Chains A and B, each alone.
Chain A
Amino acid sequence: MRLLFVGRLHRDKGVFDLPLIDRALDDRGIAVTWTVIGTGPDEPALRDAWTGAHVSFLRRRAHEEVLAIAADHDAFVLPSRFEGFPLALLEAMGAGVVPVATRLESGVAESITDGTTGFLREAGDIAGFADAIAALDRDRARLASMADSARRHVAAHHDMRTCTDAYQALFRATASCDVPVRPMSSCRTARGSIGAGSRTSPCGRSRLIRRAQGEWSDAGRAAGLGADDGVQPRALHRRRHRKRARTDVHRLRASRRRRLLHDSTVAIARRYESDPRVRVIVNERIAATIQTGITPSRSPGTLLQVHDSDDVMYPHCLAVMVRALDMIPEAGLALSAHHAWSGAPTPIASTPRLSYCREFLGFGMFSQGPSNALFRTDVFRALGGFPEVGRTRNLAFWLHACRTTTVALAAADLYWYRVHEGQHLRTAESAFDLAARRRFRGRR
């Protein structure tokens, strides 16, 4: 008999049962060879305890090589004490190798029908393992039959193409949320088969959005609220945020008032005004002279968002920002950016010291528009709002804010930052400032 073990060489895998099984087989007069593939912390001890020319330790091998090696074996021995869902077992079965494994609830017992596609034995039952292997050795026809059954089981339930399609279907459905899903017939969910017909994706994001829409509609359905562009208050879906997330949306830049009216920005914002959480202010006085500005005294809510009408807030933006502030209570504002984060999980609590290190020693932090932050209103008031004049007004504000309070760094790319003609960023003064800052960074 050609016996195979593939896995981490750890006592949880029952590797120290292998020499005992080998000895029991020898007692039964069964000639075997063993191939052991894998490494692990107990490899030295196992090698010491198990010697002989009939045992080959191949250590770590490439996946394709493991599959090829497995095909040259008769039985796969897995005396594990713990398993999740052992892929090595399935791969051995797929290669036509009969498994003899511990009866573990998760994975193993689901994959092996005792006596048909393999053998299940209790953990530590050395004699049971040896007897099963001996039975296969004595009855080669049964060995061939069980090997074929094992292979057929894997082909029926774990076919690579079918399973890949199922995964991709779920990923697509989750990404698009409301797209009808057509999973493969072999895929089942907790509520039963979903293979035959199409349905609306029940994925979590879709569920959250539907819930958010429902809550939002409680207050705003009369106003005909929907999934318009611009501000998407449906992101304020959590009940506990209802009181906190009183976000004032300030749409300014009335210097382009004609354009604002033309693109219905104000009209869209007005549609949300029937909800008590939202207050729209079109500040022509300020906007006539500056690019973005706000009068802090007119902010009644707990949280405050200064939204530039140039930019588009993605639907999940506010939810991410609010969550960041919830998770970091000491933060005075949540801040998102386009590329400045290192890719680490967010939110990150950036203390004033860390913020300055990021700006001056790292990859920059303060090249932000006002839209990229969600403030606690009291903090914003204390900061005095964005300066109304000056070429570096936004930068000055961010330096001041990040020196004063901890910042919750949220995920990047929560906005689409629209670049267009006539933008302040494109003025010569602003371009000079930007170039100077880049040059400063480049000198480091």
Chain B
Amino acid sequence: MIQILHGDYDYYYDLAERHQDVIDAFIVGGRTLERKLTARLPERARDVYRLPYGIPVAAGSTPRPPRVRPNCASCLSAACTATRASSTFR
């Protein structure tokens, strides 16, 4: 039985404390969760594992488009209208 704590909420810590007898290992996603859980269950510190979440990563740096110029009454270019209406029309 493994509990995964994915939120810094008392609810999760309470669950861990309440059911620790039947939980073999605890997985936390970050250092804060790890620190707080081990503080609540110091005798189970050896069973707390900090395993980061797996996230898809883009292959390379994302190409950035040129900066969109500020939208103003004197600059209603195509780029401006494509990105944002003038504050006058908001």
Contacts and interface: CB of A to CB of B under 8 A. Distances in A.
Q: Do A and B come from one complex?
A: yes
A137 B7 contact: no
Given A53-B84, A106-B30, A96 B51 contact: no
Contact of A31 (B49, B62, B68): B68
Instruction: Give chain B's interface residue range (CB within 8 Å of chain A).
Output: 35 or more
Nearest to A140: B67
Interface in A84-106: 84-85, 87, 90-91, 93-97, 105-106
Contacts of A183: 49
A203 interface: yes
Given A157-B52, A191-B45, A106 B84 contact: no
A190 B45 contact: yes
Nearest to A107: B30
Contact of A54 (B6, B58, B83): B83
A170 B48 contact: no
A161 B24 CA distance: 24
A91 B30 CA distance: 16
Interface stretch (A143-151, A300-308, A384-392): A143-151
Contact of B2 (A26, A95, A151, A174): A174
A145 to B, nearest CB: 9
A95 B64 CA distance: 12
A259 interface: no
Interface string B27-61: 10111111000100000111111111111111001
Interface in A32-90: 32-33, 51-54, 67, 71, 74, 82-85, 87, 90
A189 interface: yes
Contact of A90 (B34, B53, B72, B84): B53
A163 B70 contact: no
Contacts of A416: none
B15 interface: no
A428 interface: no
B13 to A, nearest CB: 12
A137 to B, nearest CB: 6
Question: Of A82, A83, A144, A190, which is in contact with the most chain B CB atoms at under 10 Å from its CB?
Answer: A190
Contacts of A161: 54
B61 A148 contact: yes
A53 B80 CA distance: 12
A155 B29 CA distance: 16
B52 to A, nearest CB: 5
A52 B80 contact: no
Contacts of A186: 52
Given A31-B69, A159-B57, A106 B46 contact: no
A336 to B, nearest CB: 16
A108 B46 CA distance: 25
Instruction: Give chain A's interface residue range (CB within 8 Å of chain B).
Output: 35 or more
A188 interface: yes
Question: Of B21, B55, B56, B69, which is in contact with the most chain A CB atoms at under 10 Å from its CB?
Answer: B55
A30 interface: yes
A162 B54 CA distance: 7
A71 B2 contact: no
B51 A187 contact: yes
Contacts of A52: 84-85, 90
Given A84-B8, A204-B23, A67 B61 contact: no
Nearest to A53: B85
B58 A96 contact: yes
Contacts of B67: 137, 140
Interface of B: 1-2, 6-9, 21-25, 27, 29-34, 38, 44-58, 61-62, 64, 66-72, 80, 83-85, 87, 89-90
Interface of A: 1-2, 26, 29-33, 51-54, 67, 71, 74, 82-85, 87, 90-91, 93-97, 105-107, 110, 137, 140, 143-144, 147-148, 151, 154-155, 157-164, 166-167, 170-171, 174, 183, 186-191, 202-207, 323
**3 cross-chain pairs, A with B, having the tightest CB-CB distances, nearest first:** A84-B7, A163-B54, A204-B24
16 contacts: A26-B90, A31-B70, A32-B84, A54-B84, A54-B90, A82-B8, A84-B33, A90-B55, A105-B32, A110-B31, A167-B27, A170-B27, A189-B49, A190-B38, A190-B46, A204-B23
